[in-house]
């Protein structure tokens, strides 16, 4: 294999690394399970057949929804429980991270989470739905705005294929904060500050790279013959 080295920058690259690179993904799995309070066969795993991961899907910047940094559909190891996890990510060079305090804009920590929670509840209780229902749900004002409609329908289609009627499925939202391992040695626990009450959890992950450019790994898919 003669693959080039690929580097990214900042929190977006740290997020992709956490979702894609095997060791980092395993670390994220452990931290998600701890946060969710899962043990044994109830635990989730970010691995093939047990999860779907969407990286920075766009749901329209003009509607204050924008792009969550990731969405994870996950199943427990015993295949009885499922999760919709909506995620944001920041690193310790972000303006939102000051000392041990982390804050998010209202559209990230509240508006976006509430919007996705509404989508989840609608999807979880409706086996079929019309375009007009989805337009009303997603607050799509113009009939000519087909991009957001198709994105929502695509997300629902993936959820329909991934989960089944036997799953008890829950909605969760989480903020990943990437902090440099050396800089965190003398620091205390991070605190999450929101303008309004939020059920969003906070997970801290360390990175060790000294430079701002983050090495990325990727897998080339084999072409079909």
Cα–Cα nearest to 175, from 60, 57, 70, 42 = 70
φ/ψ of 97, rounded to 5, equals: -110, 110
pTM of the model as a whole: 0.89
pLDDT at 225: 44
What is the percent of the chain where pLDDT is above 70? 87
What is the percent of the chain where pLDDT is above 90? 48
pLDDT at residue 221 greater than cutoff 90:
no
pLDDT digits (tens, 9 = 90+) for 18-75: 998 888 999 999 999 999 999 999 999 999 999 999 999 988 765 557 889 999 999 9
Q: State how far the alpha carbon of 48 is from the alpha carbons of 24, 25, 53, 84, 176, in Å.
A: 15, 12, 10, 16, 22
pLDDT digits (tens, 9 = 90+) for 127-186: 888 999 998 988 877 676 788 889 999 999 999 999 988 789 999 999 999 988 766 655
φ/ψ of 214, rounded to 5, equals: -105, 125
- 22-36 and 10-20 helices cross at what angle (nearest 10)? 90
Average pLDDT taken over every residue of the chain:
86
pLDDT at 186: 54
pLDDT at 180: 83
H/E element, 156: helix 146-162
Q: Quickly state the pLDDT bin for 124 (edges 50, 70, 90).
A: very high
pLDDT at 1: 59
pLDDT at 46: 95
pLDDT at 57: 93
Q: Quickly state the pLDDT bin for 10 (edges 50, 70, 90).
A: confident
pLDDT at 213: 81
């Amino acid at each position: 294999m003669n693959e080039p080295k690929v580097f990214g920058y900042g929190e977006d690259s740290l997020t992709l690394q956490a979702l894609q690179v095997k060791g980092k993904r395993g670390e994220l799995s452990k931290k998600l399970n701890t946060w969710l309070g899962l043990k044994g066969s109830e635990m989730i795993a970010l691995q093939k057949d047990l999860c779907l991961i969407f990286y920075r899907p766009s749901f329209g910047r003009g509607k204050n929804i924008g792009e969550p940094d990731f969405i994870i559909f996950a199943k427990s190891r015993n295949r009885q429980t499922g999760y919709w996890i909506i995620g944001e990510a920041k690193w310790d060079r972000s303006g939102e991270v000051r000392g041990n305090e982390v804050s998010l804009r209202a559209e990230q920590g509240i508006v976006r989470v509430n919007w996705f929670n509404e989508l989840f509840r609608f999807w979880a209780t409706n086996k079929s739905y019309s375009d007009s229902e989805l337009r009303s749900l997603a607050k799509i004002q113009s009939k000519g705005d087909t991009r957001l409609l198709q994105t929502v329908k695509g997300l629902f289609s993936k959820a329909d294929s991934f989960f089944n009627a036997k799953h008890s499925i829950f909605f969760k939202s989480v903020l990943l904060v990437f902090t440099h391992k050396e800089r965190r040695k003398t620091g205390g626990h991070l605190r999450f500050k929101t303008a309004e009450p939020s059920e969003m959890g906070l997970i801290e992950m360390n990175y060790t790279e000294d430079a701002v450019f983050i090495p990325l790994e990727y897998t080339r898919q084999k072409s079909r013959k």
